[in-house]
């Protein structure tokens, strides 16, 4: 091990700064304190912007990074940004946070609740962005000692699963040896982090099934082909996929979430539409679900004399964590005094998976002691988790750089 790597290993082992080392500094010192990280989170929470519209959020984060002297990278992105800490030489580790909000009317009653009607940070992306600012502050204070570069990815448009690919196209992963991200987990207590190797979040695809029948008067159904009855049978038949076509050892979900047909009470329409989603933790299982889905849709429709076509809207693949990075995360969490919850997974999807298709990656769950799940109008989290989240990101970046430096 080189002398430089030993230095960084010592930094990683030293763990987080006590809050006092950052508290009490003046605003003009170029240092943001943990109290200010919380203020950043609440500022963002109060001013949510939807996917692809994160203009003010981007400007605000850019200003905070400039204040602490972090180098911004020109990318041409309309929203979101990339920044770097380090000399530019040696290995590169990327840290990612998403920044977009949801079209939800907030019902928390918090003093810093959304001021924008119909928009809310109901998935905690404000927390993620503030944690990455905190990690950037910690790493900037040790920039001269880094054996490489930490690239900060403030990603837009996660909720529509478009932002990761936008950043990749902008060069976010060029030269990167590892990418690390995290997500708040309201059902885990503060001080707990969920770490697991392998698949931890599901692949997701949306579907639209168009059932074509023949319209007729409701009084003479025998004169037509009823797409509503066909669609109703199709809804129940699709539920057999996970129970009879997929192994019980393979977790999967098929959910029909919308059924639309007709516009009046006395006419059987000619068309019914089904919408929904499929989820799985393995791409081969995902392919089997899609194949069986098409067979069932066609077969059920034919049994009623109707026709069915299936259109897929592609979502992210599964989030699959690198085993070595998961091991590193456990060691970092232990040094920071955090409790590790193993085997934590979620059937939700995350476009962080697109980064992991390119480079080894790790996605963590950080306990935030919330009373409601993601995407709920009353979703909230405990700000006291923010210093731990920032410390863990910074410590992981240091440890990953040390390991990559050893391999060079």
How many beta carbons lie within 10 A of that of residue 2, not counting itself? 12
375 is in an annotated binding site: yes
Please, how many CA atoms are within 13 Å of residue 293, restricted to the half-sphere of its CB? 28
217 is in an annotated binding site: no
How many beta carbons lie within 10 A of that of residue 345, not counting itself? 17
Among 383, 300, 388, 374, which residue's Cα sits nearest to residue 340?
388
Handedness of CA 195, 196, 198, 203 (dihedral sign): negative
Distance, CA of 408 to CA of 406 (rounded, Å): 6
125 is in an annotated binding site: yes
How many beta carbons lie within 10 A of that of residue 174, not counting itself? 11
123 is in an annotated binding site: yes
CB 95 within 8 A of CB 135: yes
3-state class of 291 per DSSP? helix
Distance, CA of 281 to CA of 301 (rounded, Å): 29
Distance, CA of 107 to CA of 105 (rounded, Å): 6
Residue 170: C-alpha distances to residues 90, 113, 288, 289, 324 (Å): 21, 33, 33, 33, 27
Q: Which residues are documented as binding site? A: 123, 125, 159, 183, 375
Q: Which residues are documented as binding site for Mn(2+)? A: 123, 125, 159, 183, 375
């Amino acid at each position: 091990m080189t002398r430089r790597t030993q230095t960084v290993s010592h930094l990683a082992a030293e763990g987080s700064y006590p809050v006092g080392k950052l508290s009490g500094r003046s605003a003009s010192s170029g240092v943001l304190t943990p109290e200010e990280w919380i203020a950043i989170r609440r500022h963002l929470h109060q001013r949510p912007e939807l996917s692809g519209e994160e203009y003010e959020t981007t400007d605000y984060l850019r200003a905070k990074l400039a204040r602490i002297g972090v180098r911004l990278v020109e990318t041409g992105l309309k929203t979101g940004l990339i920044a770097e800490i380090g000399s530019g030489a040696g290995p590169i580790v990327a840290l990612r946070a998403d920044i977009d909000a949801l079209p939800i009317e907030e019902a928390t009653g918090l003093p810093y609740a959304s001021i924008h009607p119909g928009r809310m940070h109901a998935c905690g992306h404000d927390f993620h962005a503030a944690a990455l600012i905190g990690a950037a502050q910690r790493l900037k204070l040790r920039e001269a000692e880094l054996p490489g570069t930490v690239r900060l990815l403030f990603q837009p448009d996660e909720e529509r699963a478009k932002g990761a690919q936008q950043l990749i196209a902008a060069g976010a992963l060029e030269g990167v040896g590892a990418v690390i991200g995290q997500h708040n987990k309201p059902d885990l207590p503060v001080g707990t982090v969920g770490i697991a190797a392998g698949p931890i979040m599901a692949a997701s695809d949306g579907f639209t099934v168009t059932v074509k029948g023949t319209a007729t008067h409701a009084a003479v159904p025998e004169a037509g082909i009823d797409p509503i009855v066909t669609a109703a049978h199709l809804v129940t038949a699709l539920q057999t996929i996970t129970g009879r076509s997929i192994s019980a050892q393979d977790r999967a979900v098929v959910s029909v979430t919308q059924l639309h047909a007709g516009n009046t009470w006395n006419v059987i329409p000619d068309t019914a539409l089904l919408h929904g989603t499929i989820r799985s933790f393995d791409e081969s299982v995902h392919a089997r679900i899609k194949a069986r889905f098409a067979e069932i849709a066609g077969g059920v429709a034919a049994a009623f004399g109707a026709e069915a076509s299936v259109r897929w809207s592609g979502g992210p693949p599964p989030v699959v964590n690198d085993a070595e990075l998961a091991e590193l995360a456990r060691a970092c969490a232990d040094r920071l005094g955090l409790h590790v919850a193993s085997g934590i997974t979620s059937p939700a999807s995350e476009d962080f998976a697109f980064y992991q298709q390119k480079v080894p990656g790790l996605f963590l769950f950080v306990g935030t002691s919330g009373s409601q799940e993601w995407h709920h109008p009353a979703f909230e989290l405990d700000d006291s988790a923010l210093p731990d989240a920032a410390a863990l990101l910074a410590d992981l970046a240091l440890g990953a750089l040390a390991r990559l430096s050893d391999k060079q």
